[in-house]
Chain A
Amino acid sequence: MTRSRRPSAQTTAVILALAETPAGWRYGYELCQQLGLKAGSMYPILIRLADRRLLETTWETDPPSGRPPRHLYRLSGPGRSLAAELAAELAAEPAGGRAGRPATARPRWEGA
């Protein structure tokens, strides 16, 4: 898969966070808390990733009574390839560059 444009720092952080447990399903608020991202940034990123078939989505099948089922996310095959590619790019960068930044995404809006 060839990428036309490098994902933003926030999108990269979301992809790499999802890649930490590639087989596990994650939910939106959990990702927001992990990355320090606001819902207003997180959901557009998740939606774009799902639109581009980089993300698989499903609904919680057995929610506790009294609360609605959650929407769950994990990387698809192409998403995992992209995550590996991004992780390799970050590892190849010099220590003072992008790789030297903390795992939390910058709290500002950027497109994917």
Chain B
Amino acid sequence: MEHRYRQLGFATVAAAWAVFWLVGTAASDRADYQDVYVQWAITVAILGGPSVIAAGLLWPAWWPRAAARLPAGLARLDGPARLLAVTAAALPAGRRDWGTAMTAELAQVRDRSARWWFAAGCARAALVMARHRRPRRTTPGSGCVTSTGAWWTTRSLARP
């Protein structure tokens, strides 16, 4: 299952990149526009590449632990319950009881669209929770890396 998700992730990134490239080259018929587009694409690749690589490296460490927390009958659940189960499994240890609370509430919601809205809202809440739990030192750290990358790329591209 892990292998399948990883393949799916890489295929999504590759497909998005291919579409981005094709749309860009098709939309820009003049050679100078194409140069600018290529420079821009390289910048995006340089800045976005490390995030994709980091996600690829972190995924094998994170996914087995999160998957172990998924309920046994996940396949038998409907879409909203499955979304909420994955959301609850992904929550940090100190917030997992809130995931259980949301799951218990969803069991009370009968209307299908209301279930989807509730599960989507809970997924958003989980994102907010995960963001608030992140240690503060990562924010300046990632900011420094991004700023240095942007500065280096701009400087390289600006050089004649």
Question: A-side interface residues toward B, CB under 8 Å?
Answer: 27-29, 32, 38-44, 47, 60, 67-71
Known: A38-B121, A39-B118, A41-B121. A47 touches B105 (CB 8 A): no
Contact: B104 with A71, CB < 8 Å?
yes
Size of interface on B: residues with Cβ below 8 Å to A: 22
Q: How far is the CB of A30 from chain B (nearest CB, A)?
A: 9
Main secondary structure of the interface of B (DSSP, over half): helix
Contact: B95 with A29, CB < 8 Å?
no
Known: A39-B118, A47-B95. A71 touches B129 (CB 8 A): no
Of chain A, the residue at the smallest CB distance from B124 is A40
Contact: A28 with B121, CB < 8 Å?
no
Q: How far is the CB of B32 from chain A (nearest CB, A)?
A: 43
Known: A39-B118, A47-B129, A68-B107. A28 touches B124 (CB 8 A): no
Greatest chain B CB density within 10 A among A29, A39, A42, A71 is at A39
Q: How far is the CB of B104 from chain A (nearest CB, A)?
A: 4
A44, A60, A67, A71: the one contacting B125 at CB < 8 Å is A44
B101 within 8 A of A: yes
Q: A68: which B residues are within 8 A, CB to CB?
A: 100, 103-104, 107
Give 25 A-B contacts (CB < 8 Å), ordered by A residue: A27-B105, A39-B102, A39-B122, A40-B120, A40-B121, A40-B123, A43-B98, A43-B101, A43-B122, A44-B125, A44-B129, A47-B98, A60-B104, A67-B104, A67-B108, A68-B100, A68-B103, A69-B104, A70-B101, A70-B104, A70-B108, A71-B97, A71-B98, A71-B104, A71-B105
Q: B123: which A residues are within 8 A, CB to CB?
A: 40
Mark interface residues in B88-104 (1 if CB within 8 Å of A CB, else 0).
Answer: 00000001011011111
